[in-house]
Structure 1
């Protein structure tokens, strides 16, 4: 018995030492303090501080669609730079050569910032939301807050909803704009055109697969998934 089962083998005669609960709690507390210190150095505002200062408090009397068109125009410029869109042709007629590759656009779009975009509810289990459209003024983990063309603020849940959004086919930036330069501020008295009034490309967005904050999406690796039927 000794020769077959015990000889030449290591045996533990007592349970290995474990960290005490107090030690684990102390390590977790120190880790939180380090994160808080790093955020303070980087001047990052936390959720509690933002709530106390009323950062996300929105006066509904200022919910005017026209007031947010400049934000939307800024988003169009951001998309033009992010996707590397071409300048519009001199003839003014769209061409097939201007269509960017979808395989190169999708990885960028899932990590993009949607504040300022125009989204529309295509499918939803809540029939009252169908067709609802507006400019995104705030995105959270589970919802989009939009200002509609009827000057109303609506909170649209991402869960069990499919959205459509469009990006411009051609760059809306001036030809003199260079990569990594600050985006030009839209002229408040200039054009009021939205992306829906220019040549554009339409995409679908499945809310169930998009339930992340915009800051989290930028560093997240997305995997291909089959579409989920509602």
Structure 2
């Protein structure tokens, strides 16, 4: 307080004499004017900054960041994305032309299955081969958006459809190889799935 005492006196002298007794100067205000900040002020500023830089999922949704137009998207415009995805998938899975995937009884099957489940699916061309709902069977197209629980799939008819992961199993082709991916293994946010430690998979992933 000694370092700010002259400033307190200066502020009091700025007030007319008959009003000086009524003047109340808060130490935090004097500290701010003196050019330094108290620990409390630093903490409040840090809290406000942290709060303002982190968006909640509700805020993301309110800005439409998880929303796609349902009629403006064209299947043919996403074919280049699918071509990019095929190159990425071959590199991710370590496949070359003519390769075959490990069979269920082979030692490398489990590691390959985990790679398949961790793969980014944006751009993949998939179809529903099994589902609890008969209305979903046979739906196919390019995945344009993946969330924790659903896939947004753009069909060749330019219709965008929402397919729940947990209710379906998906077929996918890469070159001359076809896979089956069980939807229940995908019910994790894509960014988390790529780094999450996955337990042993027991179902065969090859058609």
- Scaled by the length of structure 1, the TM-score of the pair is 0.58
Rounded to whole Å, the distance in 2 between the matches of 1:213 and 1:125 is: 22
Cα drift, residue 126 of structure 1 = 0.8
Compared with structure 1, are the counterparts of its residues 223 and 130 closer, same or farther at alpha carbon in structure 2 (3 Å cutoff)? same
Q: Which moved more, 1:145-154 or 1:57-66?
A: 57-66
Indicate which of 162, 178, 189 corresponds to 1:155.
162
Aligned residue number for residue 64 of structure 2: 54
Q: Which residue of the partner structure matches residue 216 of structure 1?
A: 192
1:206 is aligned, of 176, 182, 191, to 182
Aligned twin of 2:100: 99
The alignment yields a C-alpha RMSD, in angstroms, of: 2.8
**Residues 219 and 39 of structure 1: CA distance in aligned 2, closer, same or farther (over 3 Å):** farther
Q: What 5-or-longer segments of structure 2 have no aligned partner?
A: 1-42, 103-107
Give the deviation of 1:208 after TM superposition.
2.2
TM-score, normalising length from structure 2?
0.63
How big is the shift at 1:66? 0.3
Q: How much has 1:78 moved relative to structure 2? A: 1.1
Shift of 1:85: 2.8
1:106-125 mapped onto 2 (5 Å cutoff): 106-125=113-132
Q: Aligned partners of 2:90, 2:51: CA distance in 1, in Å?
A: 33
Mapped contact 2:71–2:160 kept (Cα < 8 A): no
Aligned residue pair count? 152
2: distance between equivalents of 1:226 and 1:99?
19
The residue that corresponds to 1:92 in the other structure is: none
Deviations 1:127-167 (A, max 9, x none): 01111101011111111110011111110111231111122
The SS at the match of 2:78 is: helix
Question: As a proportion of its length, which structure holds more helix?
Answer: 2
Cα offsets for 1:176-230 (capped at 9, x unmatched): xxxxxxxxxxxxxxxxxxxxxxx33111111123211111111212222545xxx
Q: Secondary structure of the residue that 1:204 maps to in structure 2? A: strand
Candidates 159, 163, 171, aligned match of 1:164: 171
Is there any run of 5+ residues in structure 1 with no aligned partner, and where?
1-29, 89-94, 168-198
CA–CA separation in structure 2 for the residues paired with 1:212 and 1:218: 9
Which residue does 1:144 correspond to in 2? Answer: 151
**TM-superposed deviation, 1:55:** 2.2
Which structure has more RCO (C-alpha within 8 Å, separation ≥ 6)?
Answer: 1
